[in-house]
Amino acid sequence: MSNVTLLHVNGSARACDADAARPLLSVLRDDLALTGTKFGCGEGQCGACTVLVDGVPVRSCLTPCGSIGPQKITTIEGLARDGHLHALQEAFLANGAMQCAYCTSGMIMSGVALLAKNPHPSDEEIVRFMDGNICRCGVYQRILAAIKHAAAATNGGAK
């Protein structure tokens, strides 16, 4: 397999030269200096590495960068627009929905994907959708509140 030389990330075409088998997570972090996406387990079990690929949340630790092609990647660094935070980023702040915050990027990316698909999720729907994301500090109740807060604030995250 030839090396990956181009990735579409956060609205920009980014040049790289990465072995196609390398995880997308490592290419984002080490080659493109987008370290907001975190390594938590490397096994697809914790969700800390969640990014959006054409709007769909994926575990970047288990996604070979060669599988992305022309699809558009969104990372935590790409959520704010012109210095304005995404409604869910604001809601995480307002609800104090973090402690060590190492899970926060992955939580927000999963939450953004949920709100795009389901603008007014019920508690049960949030729990089901977010259950693959681990917060070891146990801030789940606040994250749930933040997602509901963002849904209400933006009429479904459509900011």
* CA 119 to each of CA 4, 137, 157: distance values in angstroms, whole numbers, following the listed order: 35, 27, 6
Is the separation of the CB atoms in 2 and 20 below 8 Å? yes
Confirm or reject binding of residue 140 to other proteins (CB under 8 A). yes
Confirm or reject binding of residue 9 to other proteins (CB under 8 A). no
Q: Which contiguous run of DSSP H or E holds residue 7?
A: strand 4-9
> Between residues 45 and 71, which has the closer beta carbon with respect to other proteins?
45
Using the rule CB under 8 A, give the single segment among 1-9, 42-50, 112-120, 151-159 that binds other proteins: 42-50
What the block records as the tokens of 50 is 């969640």
Confirm or reject binding of residue 36 to other proteins (CB under 8 A). yes
Which of 58, 79, 115, 150 is the binder for other proteins (CB under 8 A)?
79
- CA-only gyration radius of the chain, Å: 15
Helices (H) and strands (E) in the chain, counts: 5, 5
Residues that bind other proteins (CB under 8 A): 19, 21-23, 26, 29-30, 33-43, 45-46, 48, 75-77, 79-80, 85, 89, 92-94, 96, 98-105, 108, 126-128, 130-144
